Amino acid sequence: MRFAVIVFPGSNCDKDLFYAIKDGIHAEVEMVDYRENSLDEYDAVMIPGGFSYGDYLRSGAIAAQAPIIPAIKKLAHEGKPVLGICNGFQILTEIGLLPGALIRNRQNKFICESVELIVEDNQTIFTSEYSKKESINIPVAHGEGNYYCDDATLSTLKANDQIVFRYANDINGSVDNIAGIMNSKGNVLGMMPHPERALEKIVGSDDGLKMFQSILKSHMNRVNL
């Protein structure tokens, strides 16, 4: 399985994500520059956290215009896994692959701490190694992580089981304590917490490792069909 980690100007979690895949699940992974225009040779794409373009205008808004974006959309429409973490989640909403928006935290302050998440859906290609309603410890680091959507969108997310992670406690004002959602097709996931920063107990938690193991396992299952 070949992973692509997209690198935008201002990305600062790209190497964390690269090594989460390379050393965490021992899969093939490459850093791909935002100026590229094809991802045809990859099986999955990861959009890392950070501050693409310095969060100028609003988080993810300028990155959404980058040359690589049509290739990300093409890969997503082909049904391949797309994971956006933190700024990556913001970019996925900006380009329309996920509904809603990420706005300023309710307390208008940057949050950097480990938080408790609840796995709401373990029947996805990203979460199959978790148990349903499992409590996991994953770090967050964001100033615009307050997930917002209107009532109709929230109803759709609930009806289609698209809410994958919730915060155990309200940390930033997100609607319904949403920490991560996926598209209706189930192959695009956006989440504000950073699983790539939770791979070893020595750094506080290894609860993020199961996410990358889930993606790899799903791919291997498809290949072996």
For position 174, what pLDDT does the model report?
98
13 as an active site residue: the answer is no
194 as an active site residue: the answer is yes
Contact 71, 37 (CB under 8 A): yes
Cα separation, 73 vs 92, in Å, equals 9
Catalytic residue, chosen from 13, 149, 194, 219, is 194
Q: Which residues pair with 102 in a beta bridge?
A: 147
86 as an active site residue: the answer is yes
pLDDT tens-digit series, residues 174-216:
999 999 999 999 999 999 999 999 999 999 999 999 999 999 9
Catalytic residue, chosen from 94, 120, 144, 196, is 196
* Over residues 46-51, mean pLDDT: 97
For position 224, what pLDDT does the model report?
79
Catalytic residue, chosen from 13, 86, 120, 129, is 86
- Whether residue 223 has pLDDT greater than 90: no
pLDDT tens-digit series, residues 136-171:
999 999 999 999 999 999 999 999 999 999 999 999
Q: Does the structural domain 2-223 have CATH classification 1.10.150.120?
A: no
Instruction: Name the residue ranges covered by the structural domains of the chain.
Output: 2-223
